[in-house]
Amino acid sequence: MTLITADTHYLVVGLGATGLSCVRYLVAQGKLCSVIDSRQAPPGLDTLRAEFPQIEVTLGGFDAQVMSQVDVLVMSPGVPLSTPAVQAALAKGVRLSSDIELFCQAHQGRTVLITGSNAKSTVTSWLADIARRSGTSYVVGGNLGQPALTLLEEPVELAILELSSFQLELVGPLRADVATVLNVSEDHQDRYPSFAAYQQTKQRIYFGCRHAVFNRDDALTSPLLPTGVIQTSFGLGKPDLNQFGVQEYEGEAWLTCGHERWMRAGEVALPGRHNRSNALAVMALAQAIGLDREAILSSLRAFKGLPHRCEPVGSIRGVLYVNDSKGTNVGATLAAVEGLGGDHPRRLMLLLGGQGKGADFSSLSEPVARFCKSSWVFGQDQAQIAAALDTGERSSGVHCVDTLEQALSGAEAEAIAGDIVLLSPACASFDQFKDFQHRGDVFRSWVEARL
């Protein structure tokens, strides 16, 4: 970890909400800091100048000379480490840090760190709901909600942080009490030189942790750690002793820890096979950090999930519309299709498309053919996606349109009672929308206008 010393000069790289939180924290610690941003008018600039008129700000580009003359770069996760000015500074011996690393140095309570290609926001929020029900004082942040350093304002017993791969690039051993990689699937291949590099970045969350929780159903989540670290697994199959999984008793599926039955799988509030896996992850994390078992069970039965994550929006003439706009990569869409399709085979009508981020969509072909009645592909990379889905025998089930609204209209005309129209794009949204929330809101508004 990067240690804060009296004479260290910090350069906050990238402003915005996270950068501003870093400046406030460092100034409160009495540290010398300055700011650099590639934009001429980054978010938070007026606030920074009003609060800290003495702080030097460099705008309009990343100047290698400026970045090489400080001791520590406090990086925004939006700035790739491959940026030439960053590499030049590293070659001069400048160290890296981030708001996550600074937070973990300062936080005095227990820490749970959560990452994964998909479901990390759901699992993070679900664990926070259990902490609330157990009476534990906690904060939630990182890649979800508030910037991490703003969470230090009040001492709490537990910090629950969701971390992206971009954030994990910037940290040394974080020494979490509990850390997990929920799953790993292809994502951000426009940022990483290979899938292996992306997977290795996710593994950084385990460095220095006391207790690692991993997914038995995804070998890429298995921690590459020395002996002596406590390890707990979860998975949809029968578990070993003290591990979490699913077992059949008298024809009924139960969520279990080893052979101990915790609750019937059908009692979990969130539907779908993928959410059964998420529930097991939450159980393992909550037990590892010492949260109350009754609070765990209560939350599993009551937690309704987050907006834009397999969110039921409404039914029109017996057709259910589900908003999974947060499905911004292939793995997320696979989870949604398999999770919902397992209960409703060949009743799904999948809406997907946007900016593919260099992903390979071929792994969608077989599950879509098995579970989906039709697919409606829209947006920038529609041709590439449609080609991956069109296996020949089901070419009539793949439709290309320009916009989400056209996809919705096409699906509506084809759907009959009992079908499910699922928006799970497998892509980023920035070709046609502000962000995934905006895309989901457009979907919701279209449905609600017809209810």
Question: 120, 326, 373, 399: which is the annotated catalytic residue?
Answer: 120
Nearest to 364 by CA among 398, 396, 411: 398
For 42-78, give the DSSP string. -TTHHHHHHH-TTS-EEESS--HHHHHSSSEEEE-TT
More confident residue, 159 or 146: 159
CATH T-level assignment (fold) for domain 9-97 = Rossmann fold (3.40.50)
The answer to whether residues 164 and 141 touch, using CB atoms and an 8 Å cutoff, is no
What stretches of 205-276 adopt beta strand conformation (E)?
211-215, 230-234, 244-249, 252-257, 260-264
For 151-206, give the DSSP string. GGGS--SEEEEE--HHHHTT-S----SEEEE-------TTTSSSHHHHHHHHHGGG
Q: Give me the CATH code for the 311-448 domain, please.
A: 3.90.190.20
- To the query of whether residue 202 is one of the catalytic residues in this protein, the response is no
**Identity of residue 151:** L
> Using CA atoms, how far apart are residues 90 and 84, in angstroms rounded to an integer?
10
What is the maximum span of the chain, computed from C-alpha positions, in angstroms?
A: 71
Nearest to 426 by CA among 308, 306, 313, 331: 331
| pLDDT tens track for 300-336 | 999 988 899 899 899 999 999 999 999 999 988 998 9
Residue 258 has pLDDT above 70, yes or no: yes
Residue 76 has pLDDT above 80, yes or no: yes
Location of structure tokens 């909600």: 145
Look at residue 118 and give its three-state secondary structure.
Answer: coil
Question: 188, 274, 308, 399: which is the annotated catalytic residue?
Answer: 188
Q: How far apart are the first and last CA of the chain?
A: 54
Burial group, residue 226, by CB count within 10 angstroms (0-12, 13-18, 19+): exposed
- To the query of whether residue 120 is one of the catalytic residues in this protein, the response is yes
Nearest to 351 by CA among 435, 444, 426: 426
pLDDT score of 145:
85
- To the query of whether residue 238 is one of the catalytic residues in this protein, the response is no
Q: With DSSP H G I counted as helix, E B as strand and the rest as coil, what are the percentages for the chain, rounded to 5? A: 35, 20, 40
| pLDDT tens track for 329-376 | 998 899 899 988 877 778 999 999 999 998 999 999 999 999 999 999
pLDDT score of 345:
77
Partners of 314 in the β-ladder:
321
> Using CA atoms, how far apart are residues 387 and 364, in angstroms rounded to an integer?
11
As its CATH architecture, domain 102-302 has: 3-Layer(aba) Sandwich (3.40)
Mean pLDDT, rounded, of the chain: 93
Residue 170 has pLDDT above 60, yes or no: yes
Confidence of residue 287 (pLDDT cuts 50, 70, 90): very high
pLDDT score of 224:
84
Mean pLDDT calculated for residue range 272-278 = 92
Q: Could you tell me the pTM of the whole model?
A: 0.85
Residue 347, CA distances (Å) to 110, 319, 350, 392 in order: 45, 10, 10, 20
Percent of the chain at pLDDT exceeding 70: 97
Around Cβ 424, how many Cβ atoms within 10 Å?
27
Confidence of residue 228 (pLDDT cuts 50, 70, 90): confident
- What would you report as the CA-atom Rg of the chain, rounded to the nearest whole angstrom? 23
> Using CA atoms, how far apart are residues 22 and 35, in angstroms rounded to an integer?
10
Confidence of residue 6 (pLDDT cuts 50, 70, 90): low
Confidence of residue 2 (pLDDT cuts 50, 70, 90): very low
pLDDT score of 4:
47
Look at residue 301 and give its three-state secondary structure.
Answer: helix
Percent of the chain at pLDDT exceeding 90: 85
Question: 107, 118, 143, 329: which is the annotated catalytic residue?
Answer: 143
| pLDDT tens track for 182-191 | 999 877 777 8
pLDDT score of 255:
98
Mean pLDDT calculated for residue range 38-56 = 97
What b-and-e string marks burial along 326-364, b requiring 16 or more CB atoms within 10 Å of the CB?
A: bbbbbbbbbbbbebbbeebeebbbbbbbbbbbebebebb
Domain ranges of the chain: 9-97, 102-302, 311-448
pLDDT score of 135:
97
The answer to whether residues 446 and 412 touch, using CB atoms and an 8 Å cutoff, is no
Confidence of residue 225 (pLDDT cuts 50, 70, 90): confident
Residue 298 has pLDDT above 50, yes or no: yes
Mean pLDDT calculated for residue range 431-450 = 97
pLDDT score of 1:
44
| DSSP single-letter state for residue 302 | H
pLDDT score of 355:
97
> Using CA atoms, how far apart are residues 417 and 388, in angstroms rounded to an integer?
29
| pLDDT tens track for 229-251 | 999 999 999 999 999 999 999 99
| pLDDT tens track for 388-423 | 998 655 445 899 999 999 999 999 999 999 999 999
Nearest to 338 by CA among 243, 428, 437, 422: 422
Q: Cα-Cα-Cα-Cα dihedral of 313, 328, 112, 253, to 10°?
A: 60
Residue 144 has pLDDT above 80, yes or no: yes
> Using CA atoms, how far apart are residues 219 and 136, in angstroms rounded to an integer?
33
Location of structure tokens 């207790």: 211
